[in-house]
Amino acid sequence: MLKRVSLATMFLLLVSVILSATEADARKRREKIIPAPTKTSLVVDGKSGRILHSRNARKKIYPASLVKVMTVYLIFESLESGRLKLNQKLYVSKYATKARPLKLYLKPGRKISVRDAVLGLIVKSANDAARVVAENIAGSERKFARLMTIRARQLGMKDTTFTNASGWHDPKQVTTAVDLAKLSIAIKRDFPKYYRAFFSKTSFRFEGKRIKGHNKLTATYPGAEGLKTGFHTPAGCNLITTATRGNKSLVGIVTGRKNGTIRNRKMVQLLDKHFGVKHNTIKRKGGIKTRKMKLADRKKRKSRRK
């Protein structure tokens, strides 16, 4: 009897050890598949591109919904050239409606105006709106992503590859904080009218409902002009903010943070510092080394487009 109990106990212990080892192996595999997001931060002069602060700014990262800044750039380009109009209706395909949230919950076969699609992208970060725009401009999201990458190269974004219009995670879709700064400067410089009209919005009405955004700094930070938030697990919480006070314009980028509160707090600290906002902190000796990013000239970009 004791022998049987002992054998049963040994068997249970063996099973327990095997299960523990299997669980540990599975955890290690998950850690390899989803590494911790890369924390980066960057502040540049919004006019000259001069780098004022940099941490891991040239490391490749996952942009998440910051991708939508390039999506909107191509929309603004189409509006400026006359290929699109703000009140023009865009067809909603079944493929577009299958995008995962965040979304506007568009219905297949219906239509959405270019204006509402842009607001959906900027305010709601709507993935279905991103697909609608991609298909209507380029015929498919894959073709649109190629256009995004081509434009990235022309803007001097040499370390960026786009694979979709929304920022939905794809290991091949990567960028750097430096490249995102170049894009942010370019969209504000190349399309000032559309930039001011859309990126300052924190809410809009769509189909009788008020759609609120989640970029709190656009509404609360003094001098903030807008730009974009982004999140998925491999990327962490990302943010681009542009702000102007007096004659000074800054672009701030923070990526890879654990949550939106930490991300926003870091952005405020960086912008305050470079706007010269005084806090009760200990001053460090020595100055700030500055470098200058190479920004693509708009005339060169236009000539390449032809």
Q: Alpha carbon 163 to chain centroid distance?
A: 13
CB atoms within 10 A of CB 278: 8
Angle between helices 141-154 and 298-305 (to 10 degrees): 140
Active site residues: 65, 68, 125
Q: Which two tokens stand for residue 167?
A: 């920022």
User: 41 exposed, middle or buried (CB, 10 Å; 0-12, 13-18, 19+)?
Assistant: buried
Measured torsion, CA atoms of residues 74, 79, 85, 91, in degrees rounded to the nearest 10: -10
The owner of tokens 């990126």 is 199
Question: Distance from first CA to last CA of the chain, Å, rounded?
Answer: 89
The answer to whether residues 72 and 122 touch, using CB atoms and an 8 Å cutoff, is yes
Q: Which of 119, 235, 224 is nearest to 167 (CA)?
A: 235
The token duo for 200 is: 């300052």
Q: How far apart are CA 72 and CA 197, in angstroms?
A: 13
**88: burial class by Cβ within 10 Å (0-12, 13-18, 19+)?**
middle
DSSP H or E segment with residue 154: helix 141-154
